[in-house]
Amino acid sequence: MINKMRSSFLATPYAIWVMICTILPLFYILGYALTNDAGSFTLSNLTAIADPVHLKSLWLSIRVAFFTTAICLLLAYPVALILHNLKLTNKGLVVFLFILPMWMNFMLRILAWQIILSNNGILNSILSTLGLPTLHILYTETAVTLGMVYDFLPYMILPIYNALSKINDQVVEAAADLGANWWTTFTKVTLPLSKDGIISGIIMVFVPALSSFVVSNLLGGGKVLLIGNVIEQEFTLARNWNLGSGLSIILMIFVLLSMSVMNKVDDSENGGMPV
Amino acid sequence: MKNKFLSLLTITGLVTTSLFGFTGCGSDAEDKDTLVVLNYGKYIESDVLKRFQEETGINVKYEEYESVEDMYAKYKAGSINYDVICTSDYMIETMRIEDELIPIDYSTIPNYSNIDKDIIEASAAFDPKHQYTVPYFYGTVGILYNTNMVDEDTVSSWDCLWDPDYRNQIVMINSQRDAFMVALEKLGYDINTTDTRELKEAYDLLCKEKSLIYAYLQDETYECMISEDAAMAVCYSGEAAMGMEYNEDLAYTVPKEGGNLWIDSWFVPRTCKHYDAAMKWIDFMCQEEAATENFQYVWYATPNTKVAAHEDAETLADETVFPTKETLSRCKLYEAYDNDTLNYTTNLWKRLKAY
Amino acid sequence: MNKFKKGASSLYLALIFLFLYAPILVLIVLSFNDSMSRTVWGGFTLKWYANLSSNDNIMEALGTTIKITLTSSIFATILGTTAAIGIHYMKKRHAAIMLGATNIPLLNADIVTGISLMLLFTRFTPLGEFSVILAHIAFSVPYVIFNVLPRLQSLSEACFEAATDLGATPMYAFYKVVWPEIFPGVLSGFLMALTMSLDDFTITYFTKGAGVNTLSTMLYTQLRKGIQPELYALSTILFLLAFVLLLVINFKGSARKEVFKNEK
């Protein structure tokens, strides 16, 4: 008992930290969001989301984030499944191979995609050598989605892989013993049991994808304006911190909504943790 | 084994922290021999920067930015006190009107005499009494094109950027002011117009163009043209010159309707804390050797007359690097927008990007 | 698994790996490119590697990056681990609040976190390396907590109590019972903090002061006007270092797992 009380005090430094570095800055943003240039109260920064330009960019962001998440899920699940079935003793190796690309600077890797996808880039050079028609990918919404899929794929693979490894193999074997074929076993046993990993993965991809701006800066050619770009430009170019903060608050609300929808589907005991 | 590893790591970390943690704090205090410079990205030869610090003993904190609006945002954010800044003409004018500039003491800048008098004259557009600025580089905005993919006649008019034959081969400039300038020139309006009807017309024209273009690019344009990803691009003369160095098929021109002449100059903002150091810096930039090294790196037109002695005739005759008088006569400097027009065009630009 | 399935699986994995590593290959090739342009091949050269140590800008940015990354990761790990222990023993309601707050930096857009921290810091201190370090600790701590906490939760209470019953002091019991179990979590939290901090751009961009440049911010300003090829060489070197480091850690880890497997 005494130990427990003493132990929970260990979190006090962190509690103080959270107050200062997480909660307090949020109040700053809220403050800017609810005031205008002259310092008086206004809701216009929040209602600004109704402006067609902002709505369009928000919708574009949702669309791109949705496709990114969906593609990531479709690509990642088979990978996780195959790796799981390989029954590797050294699980760390798997994690390591997927984390390793993250150690080459992110912007350089996206820059490399520019070189690969451009009109006269590596991909099109290969295609035209083979006599195939060239593709116009760079500086389109497709390129931005591809860039995000590239960036976030590991975040989808790892939670699913972890979830799969928690499944008791005997359950799967029992299903086979009872006469289920591979597909039935997969849909009725494996898939539901890996739900936590899927939800985790979706959250870890959808949320950052929604607010991303660097990828669209580099691969969008100034033609793909996401809500993240709008916010960034309000803070850097237009110097309208009030509007930028207002839109950020709206974005945060959006993220919270998405997460609560996800949490309703999630019935694990993790209770609030993404992993 | 594991615990030893962690202990080692912890000790290393604590040592590192205590060594560096203390140097981290307080280094932004008012050092006597410091100078905070703000300039465009890749606009100085690193050797020049090094030599300045060695010769004067002043420690330089060198900051860079991408676009004019970027620079203004950084300045206004107020989190850093800049001592000397280099930026474009119309932004200097905006800041002058806002009372953000401190006069330069030209008597402490003997090398100022190296600067071309014509360019100084032209600077009157944004520095009427020649009190605040010293020119650094200048140039034009025009079209860099690939002679194999499009002919000279086509690019002699801004119309070529709206030609559907070149769908997905056109690069537009990713700069609010310059993009509008192109549209306004095509429509035959004054590039400094504040008439909202004319600006809206330009906006509509740009919207029509958007589906035809490959991308809005600024400084990556020359890479794009070198690798022949596009047939033509709107860009700055210096960038065009750089592109032409790498790819002989490229050529540059300012269309017949006219273009923009820009001058980037050094000035001292109100936030300056090291005025003497700032004067030394500007004087150093006007020095023959420094200006030549900078020119050979940046490859934009230099207003420093002494540089000509170090360059061969071919370079001096290169119209892309050094615009001819004829070209310059077709170009105009930007005037600063008033707040209303600025807000209006910023809004239009945002709508264009979302279109 | 039949042959077809195996073949298809291997092909699929290979394609995914190709997708993940293709850009890296491009960058490694570029580090040997004898040309300032990134789209034109100018011949093979090692000069970017040779010039690297004499390029002051890059070396300074590298030094700053290492300093910031190491410092912030170590502090984040210490803070996060103690926090995780504390949260583990809290009442459920309090724990839920703390975890909710911990989620915030993870869910907030980078740019919002960066700006909000900048607004906060500029009130109290001029921006510099210190503010960047604080900001990095802020976004790293949640990763540490979420890596350590699951380990604590799957730990058996009984072991710890048994140890104290047998006469061990709480500290000793912690060191011998709890610590070995949570250590993998602490380590992976530390590694995640390291990775996040090394690659971060947005938050660093807003919280840095004059003259402070990490590799990311330096790249960003150079991205548009053309990157110094020495940076490709540097990135390749860092990548290979990470490769070796993770390889080493992994084989140490697998040795330990083997031991536990045999014990069970």
Which of A9-18, A99-108, C11-20, C144-153 has the highest mean predicted lDDT (pLDDT)? C11-20
Asked if B17's CB is within 8 angstroms of C226's CB, the reply is no
Show the tokens assigned to B100: 């953000």
pLDDT for res B203: 96
Q: For chain A, which domains are there?
A: 51-265 (1.10.3720.10)
pLDDT for res C149: 83
Asked if C231's CB is within 8 angstroms of A108's CB, the reply is yes
Question: Do A160 and A197 touch, CB atoms closer than 8 A?
Answer: yes
Confidence of residue C1 (pLDDT cuts 50, 70, 90): low
The distance of Cα A96 from the centroid of its chain, to the nearest Å, equals 20
* Chain B contact probe: residue of A28, A56, A119 with most B CBs at under 10 A: A119
Residue B43 has pLDDT above 50, yes or no: yes
Residue C264 has pLDDT above 60, yes or no: no
Crossing angle of helices A241-265 and A52-85, rounded to 10°: 40
Asked if C231's CB is within 8 angstroms of A232's CB, the reply is no
> For residue B326, is it within any domain?
no
Query: Is A9 an interface residue toward C (CB < 8 Å)?
Result: yes
Long-range contacts of C178-181 (CB under 8 A, 24+ apart): C178/C152, C180/B2, C181/C151, C181/C155
Burial of A267 (0-12, 13-18, 19+ CB in 10 A): exposed
Higher pLDDT, B23 or A65: A65
Asked if C118's CB is within 8 angstroms of B79's CB, the reply is yes
Show the tokens assigned to A185: 């076993």
Query: Is A53 an interface residue toward B (CB < 8 Å)?
Result: yes
Confidence of residue C153 (pLDDT cuts 50, 70, 90): confident
Show the tokens assigned to A102: 């993250």
CA nearest to C246 within chain A: A96
pLDDT for res C174: 79
Q: How far apart are CA A223 and CA B211, in angstroms?
A: 9
pLDDT for res B21: 39
**Residues of chain A found within 8 Å of residue C220, distances taken between Cβ atoms:** 107
**Residues of chain B found within 8 Å of residue C226, distances taken between Cβ atoms:** 42, 219, 222-223
B247 and B154 in a single domain? The answer is yes
How do residues C206-217 score in pLDDT, each as one tens digit?
888 777 888 888
> For residue B327, is it within any domain?
no
Q: How far is A23 from chain C (nearest CA, A)?
A: 8
Asked if C250's CB is within 8 angstroms of A107's CB, the reply is no
Query: Is C203 an interface residue toward A (CB < 8 Å)?
Result: no
Q: How far is C74 from chain B (nearest CA, A)?
A: 6
Burial of B314 (0-12, 13-18, 19+ CB in 10 A): exposed
B128 and B267 in a single domain? The answer is yes
Question: Do A151 and A215 touch, CB atoms closer than 8 A?
Answer: yes
How do residues C2-45 score in pLDDT, each as one tens digit?
788 888 888 998 899 999 999 999 999 989 988 877 777 888 88
Residue C258 has pLDDT above 60, yes or no: no
* Closest by CA position to C125, among listed B27, A184, A121: B27
**Residues of chain B found within 8 Å of residue A225, distances taken between Cβ atoms:** 350, 353-354
**Residues of chain A found within 8 Å of residue B72, distances taken between Cβ atoms:** 239
**Residues of chain C found within 8 Å of residue B221, distances taken between Cβ atoms:** none
Question: For the ranges A222-226, B178-182, C92-96, C105-109, which has the lowest average pLDDT?
Answer: C105-109
Q: How far is A74 from chain B (nearest CA, A)?
A: 29
Neighboring chains of A (3 or more beta-carbon pairs < 8 A) = B, C
Point out which residues pair with B72 in neighbouring strands: none
Mean pLDDT of A232-249: 83
B130 and B266 in a single domain? The answer is yes
Confidence of residue A89 (pLDDT cuts 50, 70, 90): low
> For residue B29, is it within any domain?
no
Point out which residues pair with B253 in neighbouring strands: B143
- CATH code assigned at B239: 3.40.190.10
Q: How far apart are CA C113 and CA B75, in angstroms?
A: 21
pLDDT for res C21: 93
Mean pLDDT of B264-291: 94
Confidence of residue A181 (pLDDT cuts 50, 70, 90): confident
Query: Is B27 an interface residue toward A (CB < 8 Å)?
Result: no
Residue A248 has pLDDT above 50, yes or no: yes
* Chain A contact probe: residue of B166, B229, B235 with most A CBs at under 10 A: B229
Query: Is B112 an interface residue toward C (CB < 8 Å)?
Result: no
Residue B246 has pLDDT above 60, yes or no: yes
pLDDT for res B235: 92
How do residues C48-71 score in pLDDT, each as one tens digit?
888 888 887 888 889 999 999 999
Q: What are phi and psi of B101, to 5 degrees?
A: -105, 145
Burial of B300 (0-12, 13-18, 19+ CB in 10 A): buried
Residue A275 has pLDDT above 60, yes or no: no
pLDDT for res A5: 54
Residue B208 has pLDDT above 90, yes or no: yes
Question: Do C218 and C61 touch, CB atoms closer than 8 A?
Answer: yes
Looking at chain B, the whole-number percentage of residues with pLDDT higher than 70 is 91
Secondary structure percentages of chain C, helix, strand, coil, to 5: 80, 0, 20
B145 and B255 in a single domain? The answer is yes
Neighboring chains of B (3 or more beta-carbon pairs < 8 A) = A, C
Query: Is A119 an interface residue toward C (CB < 8 Å)?
Result: no
* Closest by CA position to B37, among listed B228, B241, B274, B240: B274
Q: How far apart are CA A239 and CA A232, in angstroms?
A: 10
Which helix (H) or strand (E) segment holds residue C150: the answer is helix C129-153
pLDDT for res B7: 44
B169 and B265 in a single domain? The answer is no
Mean pLDDT of A266-270: 52
pLDDT for res B127: 92
Q: How far is A222 from chain B (nearest CA, A)?
A: 5
Crossing angle of helices B2-24 and C56-88, rounded to 10°: 120
B169 and B299 in a single domain? The answer is no
B269 and B240 in a single domain? The answer is no
Q: For chain C, which domains are there?
A: 57-227 (1.10.3720.10)
pLDDT for res A226: 93
Mean pLDDT of A151-180: 86
The distance of Cα C171 from the centroid of its chain, to the nearest Å, equals 29
Angle CA(A198)–CA(A101)–CA(A123) in degrees, nearest 5? 95
Mean pLDDT of B86-106: 93
CA dihedral B282, B288, B292, B293 (to 10 degrees): -60
pLDDT for res B93: 93
| Secondary structure letter of residue B108 according to DSSP | G
pLDDT for res C253: 60
Q: How far is C3 from chain B (nearest CA, A)?
A: 42
Query: Could you please report the per-residue DSSP string of B242-288?
Result: HHHHH-TTEEEE--TT-EEEEEEEEEEETT-S-HHHHHHHHHHHHSH
Q: How far is A11 from chain C (nearest CA, A)?
A: 4
> For residue B8, is it within any domain?
no
Secondary structure percentages of chain A, helix, strand, coil, to 5: 75, 0, 25
Q: How far is B24 from chain C (nearest CA, A)?
A: 6
Residue A245 has pLDDT above 70, yes or no: yes
**Residues 6+ away with beta carbon under 8 Å from C232:** A108, C27, C28, C30, C31, C33, C48
How do residues B298-325 score in pLDDT, each as one tens digit?
889 999 999 988 888 888 888 888 888 8
Question: For the ranges A234-243, B95-104, B259-268, which has the lowest average pLDDT?
Answer: A234-243
How many of the other CB atoms lie within 10 Å of CB of B233? 31
Crossing angle of helices A141-166 and A106-117, rounded to 10°: 130
CA nearest to A109 within chain C: C23
Mean pLDDT, chain A, whole residue set: 84
B134 and B265 in a single domain? The answer is yes
What single letter denotes the amino acid at residue B202? A
Higher pLDDT, C120 or A266: C120
Of A136, A223, A239, the CB nearest to B76: A239
B243 and B339 in a single domain? The answer is yes
Q: How far is C226 from chain A (nearest CA, A)?
A: 11
Query: Is C61 an interface residue toward A (CB < 8 Å)?
Result: no
* Chain A contact probe: residue of B64, B213, B224 with most A CBs at under 10 A: B224
Number of domains in chain B: 2
> For residue B21, is it within any domain?
no
Query: Is C22 an interface residue toward A (CB < 8 Å)?
Result: yes
Residue C202 has pLDDT above 70, yes or no: yes
**Residues of chain C found within 8 Å of residue B223, distances taken between Cβ atoms:** 37-39, 226
* Domain span including residue B223: 139-260+333-354
Question: Do B35 and B281 touch, CB atoms closer than 8 A?
Answer: yes
Q: How far is C9 from chain A (nearest CA, A)?
A: 7
Q: How far apart are CA B196 and CA B198, in angstroms?
A: 5
Q: How far is C148 from chain A (nearest CA, A)?
A: 11
Residue B285 has pLDDT above 60, yes or no: yes
Confidence of residue B22 (pLDDT cuts 50, 70, 90): very low
pLDDT for res C219: 84
Asked if B61's CB is within 8 angstroms of C211's CB, the reply is yes
Of C129, C226, C256, the CB nearest to B42: C226
B245 and B269 in a single domain? The answer is no
* Chain A contact probe: residue of B169, B209, B350, B355 with most A CBs at under 10 A: B350
> For residue B298, is it within any domain?
yes
Q: How far is A273 from chain C (nearest CA, A)?
A: 7
* Chain A contact probe: residue of B169, B177, B353, B355 with most A CBs at under 10 A: B353
B341 and B217 in a single domain? The answer is yes
**Residues of chain A found within 8 Å of residue B217, distances taken between Cβ atoms:** 221-222
Residue B95 has pLDDT above 90, yes or no: yes
How do residues A58-78 score in pLDDT, each as one tens digit?
999 999 999 999 999 999 999
B223 and B346 in a single domain? The answer is yes
SS3 B140: strand
* Chain A contact probe: residue of C119, C187, C251 with most A CBs at under 10 A: C119
> For residue B9, is it within any domain?
no
Asked if B41's CB is within 8 angstroms of C224's CB, the reply is yes
How many residue pairs bridge chain A and chain C with CB atoms within 8 Å of each other? Answer: 231
> For residue B16, is it within any domain?
no
What single letter denotes the amino acid at residue B80? I
CA nearest to B38 within chain C: C210
How many residue pairs bridge chain A and chain B with CB atoms within 8 Å of each other? Answer: 61
Crossing angle of helices B68-77 and B89-97, rounded to 10°: 30
Asked if B353's CB is within 8 angstroms of A223's CB, the reply is yes
Asked if A17's CB is within 8 angstroms of C141's CB, the reply is yes
Question: Do A60 and A223 touch, CB atoms closer than 8 A?
Answer: no
Show the tokens assigned to C199: 């690659």
